[in-house]
Amino acid sequence: MTEKICESVLSKHAPDVPDNAVVVRPNDTHGLVTGQYRAFAEKEGLTEVLRQEALLKTGALQSAIFNSANFSSIATDAKGVIQIFNVGAERMLGYAAADVMNKITPADISDSQEVIARAEALSAELGTPIAPGFEALVFKASRGIEDIYELTYIRKDGSRFPAVVSVTALRDADNTIIGYLLIGTDNTARKQIEADQKQLDQRLRNQQFYTRSLIESNIDAIMTTDPSGIISDVNKQMEALTACTRDELIGAPFKNFFTDPQRAEAGIKRVLNDKKLTDYELTAHARDGKETVVSFNAATFYDRDRRLQGVFAAARDIPERKRLDQVLQEKNIELESARALAEKAILAKSEFLSSMSHELRSPLNAILGFAQLMESDSSPPTSSQKESIGQILQAGWHLLKLINEILDLAKVESRQILLSQEPVSLDKVMLECQAMIEPQAQQYDVKLDFPQSGIPYFVRADRTRLKQVLINLLSNAIKYNVKQGTVEVSCSETTPGRIRTRVKDSGAGLLPEQLAQLFQPFNRLGQEAGEREGTGIGLVVAKRLVELMGGVIGVESTVGVGSVFWFELDAAQEPVLAGKNSAAVALVPSPIRRRAGVHTLLYVEDNPANMKLVEQIIARQADIHLLTAVNGSQGIELARDMRPDVILMDINLPDISGIEALKILHEDPATAHIPVIAISANAMPRDVEMGLKAGFFRYITKPIDVHEFIEALNVALEFADEKFDK
């Protein structure tokens, strides 16, 4: 438009001027009319043309500034009602100009609490009451005071942002205020930068505090030096060592604080050459004259760009170090003493349990033994007697189980139990457990469902202990099930290398508080008064055994639905066995064959009840004649005189122990060939192991299982017959 005006004006006053004489160039320092044509215009008196040109240029610049999208420009009338709302304001605040013009004041789009606070602050500052509204935003500008402040603007959508606002009063030719211009910029980025910087500053302060705390908490005198050996930092211990303040030490040569400065300086050089230095002795010389022999350990340190910064050194008072070494040695002695006491306590506990087991098993042997004899007597007991005998046997075997489980728990807790871990077939173990547990399931009218997956799972475990764990879980699942309930057993690989075995029952389920108490010794979860017998120990032992085998055990339960007890063990490869057929044949027991005639059996026992029990058992064996002795010496004499085929020997005899008696018999050529079976209430594994090592043919623990006793006796008699034939 400007170009056309210029052309028309010049054409009117200078018709001979060529069309291309008028050139519009924004960077032309002379305006829009250039060169000779400007001179022509001035000559012809066209000053009005030039004035219009300047006004147009100024207006274009003002328009560009006012409509900048980077600034919100809001102009109001004298009362504060918005009259102009530029593009930048629309972009920042989300309002269209038509939404606000002639309708609201800038105070309506500002945080009201900030406006109130500003009014209160200005009132206090200027000593005059200022209303908390638009007046608070423009009061200083209205008094001719430059005013730039921070304020929170509220967008149309309700979101907020910090803004820096510059306010100017607009005046007419008579200097009367006709309105106000508020120019704002979005201050969010700067605020975020300030917040980030503040956070970084705080982190730096925290890191500095942490570093200083580490240095000060050290028991050694610590210092850092630059590469030339000038101290750059120290801790309190270094101040104490030298009797100097931190300010006095920093900036001073390291060597100045030692009786041998050359040796101290040489130490710094060695660190710089070798990168580290250990146990370097120096004598520190304090300001007060005190000398302290110290051992230095030092190393070089670097910045992030691996540029050498200096030496980090720690000095320890050698006498103090010796004192600490002495303390450490004393502590080690205390620990060794505590360990010895613990081992002694474990041994005492083991001895106590062994003794308790013996004392309980001896009378229990008579109770169970005679009850078994009464149950199988040739004269059948009456129904009432049979019921009473059944109660005696049930209570007796339960008491024996309790004794065994207490001993088992004690062994597991003291980690005295020995495990022989090897690849074990879960399928075979389950078949054996199924055969063992089936009678109990029938008794409780519970159906057993064992896995039929066909996948041969092998786990790394102790076979005996694995059976013990599984039998315990199966027994509980049956015992605490409902009538005509089910027990399902399953196996699967839960994670690579781990096999999980689950025992699921259809019982009443467990409450969360019962689950929390599940693996506590002697805690039967309120079943103590119930009709089902138990000790509250089996699960605890099972848990410890699984953990000793490197596994985990757990339970999931839903009240009214049932429980799932599970344990996981490491998977193992199926072992490759040679000669499977011959091994299978070897496992088949050969029948017992005795030579014809009467066999002599000598029983050495001081307990009359136990003696009577064995007498009644042997009375049913027509081909066995029983001799008895009540102490070891008498037993040895009878053995020498009568030469029995087999000897039964108690361990705890009134004169000499059964082991001593066995040694005497083995040393005598006349009796050395006689197999001796130990019958003892000493049932701890180490007792059995000790007895077998001593040379007993078999070791039977009390209470006697009659079938086990007869089987052991038959094997011993067969062995004696073979010796006789030779």
**pLDDT band, very low/low/confident/very high, at 47 (cuts 50, 70, 90):** low
**Of 184-198, 486-500, 590-604, 669-683, where does mean pLDDT reach its minimum?**
590-604
Q: Residues 14-24: pLDDT tens digits?
A: 445 444 444 43
**pLDDT band, very low/low/confident/very high, at 452 (cuts 50, 70, 90):** confident
| 675 vs 581, more confident | 675
- Average pLDDT, stretch 516-545? 65
pLDDT for position 387: 78
3-state secondary structure at position 424 = strand
pLDDT for position 284: 87
In one letter, which amino acid is 653? L
In one letter, which amino acid is 516? A
Distance, in Å, from the CA atom of 202 to the CA atom of 679, rounded to the nearest integer, reads 79
pLDDT for position 68: 66
What does each C-alpha distance from 576 to 432, 570, 571, 573 come to in angstroms?
Answer: 21, 18, 16, 9
E strands within 453-551?
458-462, 486-495, 498-505
- Residues paired with residue 421 on neighbouring β-strands, in sequence order: 462
Distance, in Å, from the CA atom of 10 to the CA atom of 33, rounded to the nearest integer, reads 10
Query: Could you state, in order of their start, the residue ranges of all structural domains in the chain?
Result: 2-66, 72-186, 198-322, 418-576, 592-725
Whether residue 512 has a cis bond before it, omega within 30° of 0:
no
Pick the closest to residue 368 from 699, 616, 538, 630 (CA basis): 616
Inform me whether the pLDDT recorded for 647 exceeds 90. yes
- Specify the residue for token string 């040739």: 378
Angle, helix 318-375 to helix 706-725, in steps of 10 degrees:
90
Percentage of the chain beyond pLDDT 90 is 27
First to last CA, the chain: 141
At residue 580, what are phi and psi to the nearest 5 degrees?
-60, -40
Identical fold for domains 418-576 and 592-725, yes or no, is no
- Average pLDDT, stretch 96-110? 93
* Token pair in block for residue 202: 């705080």
In one letter, which amino acid is 435? A
Inform me whether the pLDDT recorded for 579 exceeds 50. no
Q: Residues 392-440: pLDDT tens digits?
A: 877 777 677 667 666 665 666 655 566 667 788 888 888 888 888 888 8
Inform me whether the pLDDT recorded for 587 exceeds 50. no
CATH of domain 72-186: 3.30.450.20
| 238 vs 61, more confident | 238
Distance, in Å, from the CA atom of 25 to the CA atom of 402, rounded to the nearest integer, reads 111
Q: How far is CA 68 from the centre of its chain?
A: 59
pLDDT for position 607: 79
3-state secondary structure at position 564 = strand
Pick the closest to residue 365 from 612, 603, 537, 538 (CA basis): 612
CATH superfamily of 198-322: PAS domain (3.30.450.20)
- Average pLDDT, stretch 376-389? 78
Distance, in Å, from the CA atom of 246 to the CA atom of 235, rounded to the nearest integer, reads 8
- Average pLDDT, stretch 666-670? 92
Q: CB count, 10 Å around CB of 697?
A: 19
**pLDDT band, very low/low/confident/very high, at 118 (cuts 50, 70, 90):** very high
In one letter, which amino acid is 176? T
Give the global pTM: 0.35
- Residue-averaged pLDDT of the chain: 80
Pick the closest to residue 503 from 489, 486, 484 (CA basis): 489
In one letter, which amino acid is 577? L
| Contacts of range 640-644, beta carbons closer than 8 Å, 24 or more positions apart | 640/668, 640/670, 640/671, 642/600, 642/602, 643/600, 643/670, 643/671, 643/674, 644/600, 644/601, 644/602, 644/674
The number of residues making up the chain comes to 726
With 0-12 / 13-18 / 19 or more C-beta atoms within 10 angstroms meaning exposed / middle / buried, residue 724 is exposed
Torsion of CA 292, 297, 300, 303, to 10 degrees: -90
pLDDT for position 591: 43
Pick the closest to residue 696 from 628, 656, 654, 649 (CA basis): 649
Instruction: Report yes or no: 653 and 604 within 8 Å, Cβ to Cβ.
Output: yes
Distance, in Å, from the CA atom of 391 to the CA atom of 387, rounded to the nearest integer, reads 6
Instruction: Report yes or no: 685 and 412 within 8 Å, Cβ to Cβ.
Output: no
Q: Going by DSSP bridges, is the β-strand pair 308-317/291-302 parallel, antiparallel, or unpaired?
A: antiparallel
Percentage of the chain beyond pLDDT 70 is 77
Q: Residues 281-306: pLDDT tens digits?
A: 888 888 888 888 888 889 999 988 88
Distance, in Å, from the CA atom of 465 to the CA atom of 330, rounded to the nearest integer, reads 42
**pLDDT band, very low/low/confident/very high, at 122 (cuts 50, 70, 90):** very high
**pLDDT band, very low/low/confident/very high, at 584 (cuts 50, 70, 90):** very low
- Average pLDDT, stretch 558-587? 67
pLDDT for position 411: 62
3-state secondary structure at position 538 = helix
**pLDDT band, very low/low/confident/very high, at 701 (cuts 50, 70, 90):** confident
Q: Which fold has domain 418-576?
A: Heat Shock Protein 90 (3.30.565)
Q: Going by DSSP bridges, is the β-strand pair 646-649/676-680 parallel, antiparallel, or unpaired?
A: parallel
Q: Residues 303-352: pLDDT tens digits?
A: 888 899 899 988 887 766 666 666 778 788 888 888 777 767 766 666 66
Q: Residues 682-700: pLDDT tens digits?
A: 777 778 888 899 999 999 9
Distance, in Å, from the CA atom of 618 to the CA atom of 713, rounded to the nearest integer, reads 10
HSE, side-chain direction, 13 A CA sphere, residue 637 = 7
**pLDDT band, very low/low/confident/very high, at 585 (cuts 50, 70, 90):** very low
At residue 488, what are phi and psi to the nearest 5 degrees?
-110, 130
pLDDT for position 406: 64
CATH of domain 592-725: 3.40.50.2300
- Specify the residue for token string 């597991």: 412
